[in-house]
A and B are shown apart, each in its own frame.
Chain A
Amino acid sequence: MPFGVSASDDTKPANDFLLADVPDPTDFLPAAEAPGLRSIDGAFRCTICGELFDGPVTLPCGHCFCSGCIRPAMSHKQECPICRKVANEGHLRPNPIVEEIINGWKDARPYILSLVKQEARRKVADQPEVHASPAKKRKRSQERSSSELGSVPGLPHTPIKPRSFKKMSHSPSKPNPVKYPSDGGAGPSRIPTSDGDEEDLPSTLGLNPKSDDLVKCPLCEKRVRYKNLNGHMDRSCKDPVPVSSSSQWSKIMAPKGNARGKQKKKSSETDEDFPLPKASYATLKDKQLKEMLQEHDLPITGDRPQWEQRHQRWVMMYNANLDRSLANRKTKNELRRDVKKWEEEMSRKKKPVVEDLVKYQQTHKPEFDRLLKLAKSTRDKSALEPNAAPSSSDDNHKPVSTDASLVGPPSSMTGVDDVIDLNSDKE
């Protein structure tokens, strides 16, 4: 569990990651100085990941999370993480209103932050000798609005004008607040930009088409329903032959688990809006699993556990993606890239595999000797005690030639985490 043996890429010195830009509510001044801002920013964040809601979903209890956060959490425990009321993935409902709010906040946040900074700078410039206090601030804003009417007692009248002038001079920066690369800005312009060929969507941009409107595909110029546009382009403009209603029904009515064979050819091509079913991997043969991966154009590299993880992650991300509003949705290619990135991250965190056994033994000989000694002493003791766990005595019989002999050592060896951890991902 600890990253142990290798000081992996994640174990950076503190200063490095402290400097990392991780926006959070403390970017805003506390309530005393900027009422409400910090709590607003806090309320717009998922309590699991701490980020602004991404594809927000609501549980029956009313609590809201990112779809991509609550789904894996629910695979651990089927309850609301906040109030612990029982809930499962079927209870999740997308919350488009919250999503819209977040879209707005993503634009407003950098802008407000820059305003706050300006205000602070202005304050310092004006009154370097007086300590800023909330009461002062309020006075000042009143003063600003009433500055034309007269002066406020206690404050010099003259600085007001230059101040408001300064304010004006900053205002041109208003229309272009810093944008996050990930942030979509206004609705339809959010249509996938990262897939080179999908870059420029013409005319439809400003029109804000509804999901059922027919729009021109920018690639093949065919008229396509807006809601199907992403999928249409994903299939490089080859739309499936319209399916007859009876075949659609049979697809809906067919039991999800065992009819895989029949379903698989269609499911990737038809309805984009249906969540993928979870698979029970234990019942699947290697071949079936491979087909399921290929069906979604996922690679079949690695071994079976990797396939299962990959497919599981894909299903999770795919379904979470459906909880985003159309404009915020990622394309399948983006999702595939995300799965890949996730896999790379996972593999980076895995413990290194011991390749040169002999060398490994030599370098760790003192540790092994100490462990052996310890193990022997506990073994003597456990021989006297019949109810001692069998595992500890078994392990002692094995030779110390491979790291496998170190599974489940007695807890008294707290000093040697590293060696024990070599096996920790096998459990």
Chain B
Amino acid sequence: MASISARRLAKELREIQGEGCPVGISLLKADDFATWWFSIEVMGESLYQNEAYTLQFRFDSQYPISSPAVQFVVTDGKQAPIHPHVYSNGHICASILGNEWSPVLSVVAVCVTLQSMLASCKKKERPTDNDRYVRTAPENPKKVRCHLPKSVSSANSFPDTIPL
């Protein structure tokens, strides 16, 4: 028997391939149960019109109990969207990817959430502490213990504290 995480991912993949993804989201790559890539685009009027971004999901053996590591791809000429909750290294500051993760969420649900995060953006800007974060952040966004709904203020010594 395949492990629970593999079975669950197989089910999600099957649904994606059978039913398709929501508008603006498409599966780019799912060669294994470790890393999946999605293309995500904001539909309708928004600051990110006609811009497609690539999202990377990485799963560990504890999925779906533990959250996937989700970030925008910033290699191969790809860029992370300029957004107050998205760092220039592709890391995303979203509660559902950190301590608000729930095992009933799925890959597609995360995509939709991030899509709406972009769609509701009022002003294109980087988080205020972007430079410092990018310099000190670990490669895997899950190892950053700080996922805030708002960008971190410079008073906090990042990434050791968990404000809020």
Contacts and interface: CB of A to CB of B under 8 A. Distances in A.
Interface of A: 1-3, 10-14, 17-18, 20, 22, 24, 26, 47-51, 69, 72-73, 76-77, 81-82, 84, 341, 345-346, 349, 378, 381-382, 387-389, 391-392, 408-417, 420, 424, 427
A97 to B, nearest CB: 22
A20 B34 CA distance: 17
A76 B63 CA distance: 12
B65 A10 contact: no
A137 to B, nearest CB: 21
Contacts of B142: 1
B33 A10 contact: yes
Contacts of A341: 1
B136 A392 contact: yes
A3 to B, nearest CB: 5
B31 A427 contact: no
**A-side interface mostly:** loop
Contact of B89 (A10, A412, A424): A412
A412 B66 CA distance: 25
A390 B136 CA distance: 9
A115 to B, nearest CB: 21
Contacts of A48: 8, 64-65, 103-104
A76 to B, nearest CB: 6
Contacts of A49: 4, 7-8, 64
Contacts of B6: 10, 17
Contacts, number: 136
Interface of B: 1-4, 6-8, 10-15, 17-19, 30-35, 58, 60-61, 64-66, 69, 74-75, 89-91, 99, 102-104, 132, 134-140, 142-143, 157-160
A415 B75 contact: yes
A345 B74 CA distance: 32
A47 B104 contact: yes
20 contacts: A1-B69, A12-B32, A18-B10, A81-B103, A84-B102, A341-B1, A345-B3, A349-B60, A378-B135, A381-B135, A382-B135, A387-B157, A388-B132, A392-B135, A392-B136, A408-B138, A412-B89, A412-B134, A414-B89, A427-B143
**B-side interface mostly:** loop
A409 B137 CA distance: 8
Nearest to A417: B139
A10 to B, nearest CB: 5
A343 B143 CA distance: 24
A107 to B, nearest CB: 21
B65 A72 contact: yes
Contact of B2 (A20, A388, A427): A20
Nearest to B133: A411
B104 A22 contact: no
Contacts of A416: 139
Output the residue of A3, A69, A389, A411 with the most chain B CB within 10 A: A411
Contact of A411 (B4, B30, B31, B138): B138
Contacts of A11: 31-34
Q: 3 tightest CB-CB pairs across the interface, nearest first? A: A11-B32, A411-B137, A47-B104
A420 B34 CA distance: 16
Contacts of B138: 408-409, 411, 420
A411 B33 contact: no
B73 to A, nearest CB: 9
Contacts of A411: 89, 91, 134-139
A124 to B, nearest CB: 21
